[in-house]
Structure 1
Amino acid sequence: MRAIWTGAITFGLVNVPVKVYSATEDHDVALHQVHDADGGRIRYQRRCEIDGKIIPYEHIAKAYDDGERTVILTAEDLASLPAERSREIDVVEFVPNDQLDPIMFDKSYYLEPDSKSQKAYELLRRTLEDSDRTAIVNFALRQKSRLAALRVRGDVLMIQTLLWNDEIRAAEFPSLQERPRVTQRELQLSEALMESFAGDFEPEKFSDEYQEELRKLIDAKLEQGDAIDTAETFGEEEEKKSGGGEVIDLMEALQRSVERSRSKGSASAEKKSPAKKSETKKKPAAKKKPA
């Protein structure tokens, strides 16, 4: 991995120099646009609407238009902002872990200690871990002031940038104004169904099915050309059940789902259990007493 930013975590007089790395990566198959008739690549050009010329990237600046006037902001202008020049991850406060709503999380980054700051890094990591707290921090990255959560993940400190409060929409739906009545029986069946699916989350068990099928399609087209048989490539498509089919009463649907889940669980348990031996062991013959 390559560091995308270097700076220091600061709280009080404590200074912890760190390097910042992206914690995630995109695994999607890279596709580009072409003309469907001849396969020609579609290119987008940065053309100036005044002189009609194609402008190289180094001569493109940003601008703000208020409707009457335009202010051009160069890269030098933006780099001169005090927040952009700062290389500090400034701790604002320490909050309980459970006070952070996951809807606020945005991008994730790993923090590596500088060779001279390993003791301070480990001290901060242990303090956060033992106290079950998350540090709320401010820092500047890529021409933006960021609010972030500094927290522990295993042996590593990481920061997750947070959305600002006014960036999160309120869920105000008219359909939720009146709550429908849920019976105790419905709730019990729903809980039973949920319990039948209960387990521990293991991320490695899951994969991106769409990307796997897309790669399979690309390989097939590379080998066979455009005349591939998708049914043969992917197998017969299973019948898809949509919401527009048979209308089932909620109680009936819950009851059927619970019964189906239980039957699957029983069948699975039978496969795992060893076959029972039908034969009974013979008792050893009694020894004859000496005459």
Structure 2
Amino acid sequence: MRSFWKGAITFGLVNVPVKVYSATEDHDVALHQVHDADGGRIRYQRRCEKCGRVVDYAHIGKAWDSGDRTVIISDEDLSRLPAERSHEIEVVEFVPSEQLDPIMFERSYYLEPDGSSAKAYVLLRRALEATDRTAITRFALRQKTRLGALRVRDDVLLLQSLLWSDEVRDARFPALDEPVRISAQELELSAALVESFASDFSPEDFRDDYQDQLRELLDAKLAAGDAVDTEATLGRPTGEEGGGEVLDLMEALRRSVERSRSGQQDRGSEQKKPEHGRAQKRGSVG
């Protein structure tokens, strides 16, 4: 686990240097897109709509449209904003932990003491445990000012970024405004159903069956030799800004030849495509 950010928790005159780590990770199998005819990788090009050229990352900026005008903002512009330069996790208040609505939680980060002594870190951790309160903080990360909740998890300080209040939508459903009559018997039966499923939550008891089965499928295909050489799926980089236009032209020519040939031959029926497995959101390729 590697730290991706360093800063300091500040409250009053207390300064607690910390290293920041992502507390979670994605376990999904990383799939990419290929051409089903030859297995070649599908790449996305960053093409300028005005000049038609493929643009390198070094020349890509950010912009905001006001309607009829576009404001272009450079990285230098953003670096001058105070929040972007700050590496402080500023504690603004300590609140009862039960007042935090879980819907506001966004990302979680572990904080490690950074320095020769962990005394200030341990002192803050014990203060949070003794008072059963959560520290509400402000900090800057990835060009955004963020609201955060600082609490204790397994003897480690955990920082969770929070959504701003205007980012949480109100739930307004007209159907719930209509009066609904629930009988005592229906309520009793529903309570009995809930009780029949009652248990203590153990996250380790649950597995992502789809990802497990996907890994088994991939292993089986490798074992059966149902795979192609990775190098063979990679095209040649053009190395030139205008190269993307040549690739587009070649693709158009190739498709034209294939269409012409298919018109001259009576294939009788289309080639059957492989069957897809269950359609699940987690397994989609973006």
Task: Give the TM-score normalised by structure 1.
Answer: 0.75
- Tell me the equivalent position of 2:59: 59
- Tell me the equivalent position of 2:94: 94
Residues 140-151 of structure 1 aligned to structure 2 (within 5 Å): 140-151=140-151
Shift of 1:117: 4.5
Residues 12-51 of structure 1 aligned to structure 2 (within 5 Å): 12-51=12-51
Shift of 1:213: 1.2
Give the distance between the partners of 1:117 and 1:175, measured in 2 at CA: 58
Give the distance between the partners of 1:197 and 1:48, measured in 2 at CA: 56
The reply on whether 1:73 has 2:73 as its aligned counterpart is yes
Higher RCO structure, 1 or 2 (CA under 8 Å, sep 6+): 2
Give the distance between the partners of 1:137 and 1:179, measured in 2 at CA: 42
Shift of 1:67: 2.3
- Tell me the equivalent position of 1:138: 138
Q: Which amino acid aligns with 1:113?
A: P
- Tell me the equivalent position of 2:193: 193
Give the distance between the partners of 1:136 and 1:4, measured in 2 at CA: 22
CA offsets 1:239-288 (integer angstroms, 9 cap, x no match):
xxxxxxxxxxxxxxxxxxxxxxxxxxxxxxxxxxxxxxxxxxxxxxxxxx
Question: Are the equivalent residues in 2 in contact too, given 1:106–1:161 (CA < 8 A)?
Answer: yes
Give the distance between the partners of 1:194 and 1:69, measured in 2 at CA: 57
Alignment CA distance shift 1:26-1:161 (3 Å): same
Structure 2: segments with no counterpart, 5+ residues: 228-271, 279-286
Residues 140-219 of structure 1 aligned to structure 2 (within 5 Å): 140-219=140-219
Shift of 1:221: 2.9
Give the distance between the partners of 1:40 and 1:205, measured in 2 at CA: 39
Moved over 4 A (4+): none
Shift of 1:135: 0.5
* Fraction of identical pairs, as percent: 68
- Tell me the equivalent position of 1:257: none
Shift of 1:85: 0.5
Task: Answer with 1 or 2: which has the greater Rg.
Answer: 1
Q: Which amino acid aligns with 2:107?
A: K
SS state at 1:126 partner: helix
Structure 1: segments with no counterpart, 5+ residues: 238-291
Question: Are the equivalent residues in 2 in contact too, given 1:89–1:138 (CA < 8 A)?
Answer: yes
Give the distance between the partners of 1:5 and 1:221, measured in 2 at CA: 40
SS state at 2:38 partner: coil
Task: Give the TM-score normalised by structure 2.
Answer: 0.76
The reply on whether 1:2 has 2:2 as its aligned counterpart is yes
Give the distance between the partners of 2:194 and 2:203, measured in 1 at CA: 19
Alignment CA distance shift 1:179-1:20 (3 Å): farther
